A = this chain, B = another copy of it.
């Protein structure tokens, strides 16, 4: 449920997030290069695991921002006590926890 508001909690550390995403992009390019160069499978796998860990970390931070921002605001201000935001939070967490 998009909030009709200007910025989200993650705005507070937006630059850091963007920097980490650029590093992640570089990591994916790095794996691409390893495959092109027929590098040893296990070395490639550890790079992929690093990308997975970086994605997890950014995701959990955004979940924390979202909980502290949109969900908490909806709990306080909405008639349904933020019920729909809580459902939405749990669905995205389930997707992420896979």
Contacts and interface: CB of A to CB of B under 8 A. Distances in A.
Interface of A: 2-3, 6-11, 14, 17-18, 21-22, 24-25, 28-29, 31-32, 35-36, 38, 40-46, 48-49, 51-53, 55-56, 58-60, 62-70, 72, 75-76, 81-83, 86, 88-90, 92-98
Contacts of A38: 6-8, 11, 14
B88 A42 contact: yes
Nearest to A27: B28
Number of copies: 4
Per DSSP, chain A at the interface is helix
Contacts of A40: 2-3, 8, 70
A59 B88 CA distance: 17
A41 B65 contact: yes
Nearest to A34: B21
Contact of A41 (B10, B32, B81, B83): B10
